């Protein structure tokens, strides 16, 4: 995962500060090749590597990947076990690489739901890369946009109950500050692969004015050039944020 600038790097007038990605299509990729679903997830991990590399090359500041949703816990236990094992393996494999390339790792979601082995390795990699100042890679794990909003509402309500906050002080900024993404800029660009046209409970508050890029490409086939295509599309947009 080398992030040195290559001579074939396109020139973009505008680089989104924060890119979010709904990585979809691993299962369909595997099924179309008569392979086990886990093979699709393994190939999807390679697409993650390519995407992180491309984002770092373009000097994107934040890249949030929708890696595992709260709803994904309902999948067959064998698939979940394989996914968790793959996650630990990937975190171990790329810890040194992230540090070498000045990439910082963070995670959002109900991280307490993760198996202990996953949680331990995740925290180890986060701590190991915390000093880096380049791209911030954010993994959304056991994540749900609705759960995130509910937990923020509960926290704000408790502060009001304890007298630490007035109801009149609850505004958009207060809500944003109490989300998992508190302190992070909202995504400028959301990429969704596999041709699906839905948000799948991802960053529901944060993407109010985010530009959407939908592609038919299945996630395991997504790579550097596909990422650049998304940035090309982004550069053709005029972001008005509700104004004329």
Catalytic residue among 8, 24, 164, 177: 24
What separation, in Å, do the N-terminal and C-terminal C-alpha atoms of the chain show? 42
49: burial class by Cβ within 10 Å (0-12, 13-18, 19+)? middle
Give the integer Cα–Cα distance in Å for 23 and 2.
Answer: 22
Give the tokens for residue 109.
């979601």
Is 201 among the residues known to form the active site? no
Catalytic residue among 72, 132, 201, 229: 72
Residue 244 CB neighbours (<10 A): 3
Give the tokens for residue 216.
């038919």
Bridge partners of residue 20, in order along the sequence: 64, 190
Give the integer Cα–Cα distance in Å for 56 and 86.
Answer: 23
Task: Identify the H or E element spanning 173.
Answer: helix 172-177
Is 8 among the residues known to form the active site? no
Give the integer Cα–Cα distance in Å for 74 and 108.
Answer: 20
Give the tokens for residue 1.
């995962």
Give the tokens for residue 81.
């076990």
CB 47 within 8 A of CB 58: no
| Strand ranges for 119-186 from DSSP E | 136-143
Catalytic residue annotation: 24, 72
């Amino acid at each position: 995962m080398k992030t040195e600038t290559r001579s074939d790097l396109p020139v973009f007038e505008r680089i989104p500060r924060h890119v979010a990605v709904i990585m979809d299509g691993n299962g369909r990729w595997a099924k179309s090749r008569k392979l086990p679903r886990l093979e699709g997830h393994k190939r999807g991990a390679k697409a993650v590597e390519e995407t992180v590399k491309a984002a770092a090359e373009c000097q994107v500041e934040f890249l949030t990947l929708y890696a595992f949703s709260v709803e994904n816990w309902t999948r067959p236990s064998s698939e979940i076990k394989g996914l968790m094992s793959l996650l630990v393996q990937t975190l171990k494999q790329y810890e040194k690489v992230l540090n070498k390339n000045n990439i910082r790792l963070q995670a959002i979601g109900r991280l307490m739901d993760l198996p202990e082995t996953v949680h331990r390795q995740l925290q180890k990699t986060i701590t190991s890369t915390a000093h880096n100042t380049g791209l911030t890679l954010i993994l959304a794990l056991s994540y749900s946009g609705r759960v995130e909003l509910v937990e923020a509402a509960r926290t704000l309500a408790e502060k009001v109950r304890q007298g630490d906050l007035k109801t009149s002080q609850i505004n958009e900024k207060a809500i944003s500050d109490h989300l998992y993404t508190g302190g992070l800029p909202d995504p400028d660009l959301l990429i969704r692969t596999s041709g699906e046209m839905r948000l799948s409970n991802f960053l529901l508050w944060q993407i109010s004015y985010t530009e959407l890029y939908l592609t038919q490409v299945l996630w395991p086939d997504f790579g550097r050039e596909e990422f650049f295509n998304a940035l090309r599309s982004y550069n053709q947009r005029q972001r008005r944020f509700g104004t004329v």
